[in-house]
A and B are shown apart, each in its own frame.
Chain A
Amino acid sequence: MTLADLAIAGLIVLGSLFVLLGSIGLVKFPDFFMRLHAPTKASTLGVTAILLASALFFSFRTDTPSVHEVLIIVFLWVTAPISALMLASAARHEPSTEPEMLDRDSGSTMAPDKTSNPRESEPE
């Protein structure tokens, strides 16, 4: 057991925890635009940590640098914002993904239905 083994094991567990956190956020958040946050950021970071651990492991095992994983990391980091942007622009025109939390703040222009909002009936 060396320091490299310790670092690889720590990266594996940390990355798996981040992937699990992304999926928990995907289940627990209340509306679509919040749910979009969790997998596109936390899961990408978790998979990046796991791939770094794999690159370190095979580099130390074969004594030659293993760069396949860096390709996957770069591809994931390039494509995750693009797919998140496509999903957000697809959900903007979807009537069933109305934001529930936005009209509680000052951004009341996003409130889709005035009658279902209790804050609207109060005098300002």
Chain B
Amino acid sequence: MIGTAALIGLVLVGIACLLSFYRLLRGPSLPDRILALDTLAVNAIAVIVLFGLWMGNPINFEAALLLAVLGFISTVALAKYALRGRIIEPEDRS
């Protein structure tokens, strides 16, 4: 029963990945694309956890945690780039 539920969840999250990939390709502005990438990272965490539930082995949590950290860091870096034009500000030499 849990396997069936995990399969249904994988299909639904796969459709969600396709929709956010459509927004990534279509998105009229740069923040739209960054938001679509962030959503793709969250959906990939869901896919990894659902795959671990379907297979029944608890080995995938490190991958999910790594993906959460990397998704957050890349979103913040890209948003900083869209905001300021550079990610790491040079020090103020005055």
Contact = CB atoms under 8 A, between A and B. Distances in A.
Interface of A: 1, 5-6, 8-10, 12-13, 15-17, 19-20, 22-24, 26-27, 32, 35-36, 39, 43-44, 46-47, 50-51, 53-54, 57-58, 61-62, 66, 68-69, 71-72, 75-76, 79, 82-83, 86-87, 89-91, 93-94, 96-97
Contacts, number: 166
A94 B42 contact: no
Interface residues of B, number: 49
A83 B76 contact: yes
A12 B50 contact: yes
B65 A19 contact: no
Given A5-B2, A16-B12, A23-B20, A46 B75 contact: no
